[in-house]
A and B are shown apart, each in its own frame.
Chain A
């Protein structure tokens, strides 16, 4: 019998392998990453122990690339959920998980992709995304970072917050307005290589509630001058038209990339919540004789109920990504997936901790860490509120605010 309704046996087994490896090799470094506010120093050695290549995320040239019948989005979903089942710190070190890479791929011209994507094939490379600013997050039309044209250059001025890996990324994709009067239509993406004069790391790393294995930086652009062709999509008009050219300019491009990434973000939360639930279930089972019969019965029902909830979240994730792989528009389904998974996963982690009792919050277990980590998944890459607005718009149009 087929093992999973959503994926082939081959992909299912691949996911199981990733999961077992992540528990054995990634999880033991979870506390260290949290304490250091950085990935473990030997992260590359750890990642290289994975017996299968983490396709699209961390390819090991020494290993053959597995072939699956599924498309890339479903495949990525399986990889990412199982990878995060161990712990979330690898997100900070796998290059292609970054939206910066996706943006270059989606919004860059052929010449731009040829020029920079080579860097990205290296497991050393990092990209960062400069979208959010101190004064704007959900409403990206308010972006105030300005790009002004001076002859053969663009000059950037402004501040970007919450840039993952921003302090050391090989390049940052920065969204800036070329004309504030144009509102959302005036926003363009610029590729700023590391070391460009005027790119200042104002704060290398924020002190965060969770997800501390990832570096989160504040970047300031002060008269940061770039050649004209560093605007993604620059000169695209000169390229011969292509029937399958689905590149999108400006803010819409950024948002569309985020859209495809949304079920992935939910899958990350599901991976963490499933880990918390499984760890809690094992601890509770060990201690079950300490509970009254009535309480133990209630706990068994709760654990089942939480598992079922995670299965429901997973279904929405798979459905949205299946549509993406088939080239079907999935903006609404992606939003549903992201609106559903993260806040419920947060409750699963919290409940797992509570069922264990006062010992559940101890740093001797990872539950308390995961409760800190999980909160951000309902915030970044579009808050739960934004996802609801997008789903509502599919129902009632622009009336939904």
Chain B
């Protein structure tokens, strides 16, 4: 374990892009339901969020820990745009690990075209983790596979190329993924209405009852299911890192505010009612960050590891929702108005906490 997490040049670049590019574009991205073109350009040029091998025209694939640093630091600027950018990179993440030669070749489009989008239809809600997904892959005649299921919050579904869907093989119970054409028969995608937050990324609800050729299966019929599971864990951890970055920014912002705002004769940070709130948030954040780091180091495909990832993701959700609400609280009435960004983080953290939520991995606790 190193002590330099977050301090290397990649993390520093991501922090700078987060603060100088993503942050200022946060409100416009939300209102337009799209990441502004100039922001995509910066992300594209820096190569921060498109992990594609040089062989396919990409800028290379950062190691998994570096990718967590990138996710956290972009989210430090704006969680909404960070989620959009990282979700756009989920397909290359899985294809790079599991895809066959021709599927990898298709990545070159993403590597050279800033306007190209990709997507993985992953989450199903209902607390399901990947091994429990009900989207099914069944071999039928003529080398075809029938895919049936429903996927929620699918990013960029209408324009994504490639668009992957993840499910469970009916023949051997392992994880499978397939490359889909969003406009093919049997695939219905419906643009979701606006949400509490994260509107910079258009999301879709997808209903599938479609047949695909076996060459569309990611990595073919005999694909390495463990490697796929490990890639999915990687993406889920990236979203956890976004939650940690959001929590960290909110806590830093509230801490700064608490040193400036005066009440009862001194800065409010001088009162333990405020400073302990901030300190406890920081302790939780550090703990969540360490768990993400460790999991990103091990990245495995086992069932036990998936459960560990579920635990980490859900803890990150607890940390982010609590830290952002505390940040609003520290700012008081000023936290409740859009003049300050904490209300945006309050919404973003809660929104993201629902994506991969499992009621078995956190509890309702009254505040008192």
Residues of A participating in the B interface, judged by any CB pair closer than 8 Å:
132, 135-139, 141-142, 161-162, 206-210, 216, 287, 290-292, 294-295, 298-299, 302, 305-306, 309, 312, 339-340, 343-344, 346-348, 350-351, 353-364, 368, 371-372, 375-376, 378-380, 383-385, 388-389, 401
Indicate if the CB atoms of B192 and A302 lie closer than 8 Å.
no
Q: Can you show 17 pairs from A to B with CB atoms below 8 A apart?
A: A132-B333, A162-B333, A209-B335, A209-B337, A210-B336, A292-B126, A295-B127, A309-B366, A347-B364, A354-B353, A357-B357, A359-B125, A363-B196, A376-B336, A380-B333, A385-B274, A385-B329
Indicate if the CB atoms of A306 and B354 lie closer than 8 Å.
no
- Please give the distance in Å from B43's CB to the nearest CB on chain A: 24
Task: Tell yes or no: B44 within 8 A of A by CB.
Answer: no
Supposing A209-B347, A351-B364, A379-B332 touch, asked if A359 and B274 sit within 8 A by C-beta, the answer is: no
Chain B residue nearest to A162 in the complex (CB)? B333
Task: Tell yes or no: B363 within 8 A of A by CB.
Answer: yes
- Please give the distance in Å from B310's CB to the nearest CB on chain A: 12
Task: Tell yes or no: B111 within 8 A of A by CB.
Answer: no
Task: Tell yes or no: B39 within 8 A of A by CB.
Answer: no
Indicate if the CB atoms of A295 and B263 lie closer than 8 Å.
no
Top 6 nearest A-B pairs by Cβ distance?
Answer: A357-B125, A139-B263, A343-B367, A368-B196, A209-B343, A207-B338
Residues of B participating in the A interface, judged by any CB pair closer than 8 Å:
123, 125-128, 132, 152-153, 192-197, 203, 262-264, 271, 273-274, 317, 321, 325, 328-329, 332-333, 335-339, 343, 346-347, 350-351, 353-355, 357-360, 363-368
Complex interface: chain B residues within 8 A of A371 (CB): 196, 347, 350
A160 to B345, CA, bound (A): 26
Complex interface: chain A residues within 8 A of B325 (CB): 346, 375
Indicate if the CB atoms of B360 and A295 lie closer than 8 Å.
yes
Partner of A353, one of B346, B354, B359, B360: B354
Complex interface: chain B residues within 8 A of A209 (CB): 328, 335-338, 343, 346-347
A375 to B344, CA, bound (A): 13
Supposing A354-B354, A363-B195, A375-B346 touch, asked if A295 and B337 sit within 8 A by C-beta, the answer is: no
Give the interface centre of A135, A351, A357, A363 by most chain B CB atoms within 10 Å.
Answer: A357
Complex interface: chain A residues within 8 A of B197 (CB): 361
Additional pairs, 20, CB under 8 Å, beyond known A137-B333, A161-B333, A376-B333: A132-B333, A141-B264, A162-B333, A209-B347, A291-B126, A294-B360, A295-B127, A309-B366, A343-B368, A353-B354, A357-B126, A358-B152, A363-B193, A368-B195, A371-B350, A372-B347, A376-B336, A383-B329, A385-B274, A388-B273
Complex interface: chain B residues within 8 A of A306 (CB): 364
Chain A residue nearest to B152 in the complex (CB)? A358
A330 to B263, CA, bound (A): 25
Indicate if the CB atoms of A362 and B193 lie closer than 8 Å.
yes
Indicate if the CB atoms of A298 and B273 lie closer than 8 Å.
no
Partner of A378, one of B126, B329, B357, B363: B329
- Please give the distance in Å from B200's CB to the nearest CB on chain A: 14
Complex interface: chain A residues within 8 A of B350 (CB): 350, 353-354, 361, 371
Partner of B351, one of A136, A351, A356, A361: A361
Complex interface: chain B residues within 8 A of A383 (CB): 329, 332
Indicate if the CB atoms of A379 and B333 lie closer than 8 Å.
yes
Indicate if the CB atoms of A339 and B321 lie closer than 8 Å.
no
A302 to B154, CA, bound (A): 28
Complex interface: chain A residues within 8 A of B132 (CB): 292
Supposing A209-B336, A383-B332, A389-B273 touch, asked if A358 and B153 sit within 8 A by C-beta, the answer is: yes
A388 to B363, CA, bound (A): 25
A122 to B263, CA, bound (A): 38
Chain B residue nearest to A360 in the complex (CB)? B354
Partner of A299, one of B196, B338, B353, B359: B359
Complex interface: chain A residues within 8 A of B364 (CB): 302, 305-306, 309, 347-348, 351
Indicate if the CB atoms of B152 and A385 lie closer than 8 Å.
no
Complex interface: chain B residues within 8 A of A358 (CB): 123, 125, 152-153, 203, 354-355
A210 to B367, CA, bound (A): 21
A172 to B321, CA, bound (A): 36
A309 to B271, CA, bound (A): 29
- Please give the distance in Å from B313's CB to the nearest CB on chain A: 12
Complex interface: chain A residues within 8 A of B355 (CB): 357-358
Indicate if the CB atoms of A357 and B127 lie closer than 8 Å.
yes
A287 to B329, CA, bound (A): 34
Partner of B127, one of A138, A207, A291, A350: A291
Chain A residue nearest to B353 in the complex (CB)? A354
- Please give the distance in Å from B119's CB to the nearest CB on chain A: 15
Chain A residue nearest to B368 in the complex (CB)? A340
- Please give the distance in Å from B338's CB to the nearest CB on chain A: 4
- Please give the distance in Å from B192's CB to the nearest CB on chain A: 6
Chain B residue nearest to A346 in the complex (CB)? B325
A376 to B331, CA, bound (A): 11
Partner of A208, one of B123, B336, B358, B359: B336
A290 to B135, CA, bound (A): 12
Supposing A302-B363, A309-B366, A380-B333 touch, asked if A295 and B126 sit within 8 A by C-beta, the answer is: yes
- Please give the distance in Å from B182's CB to the nearest CB on chain A: 19
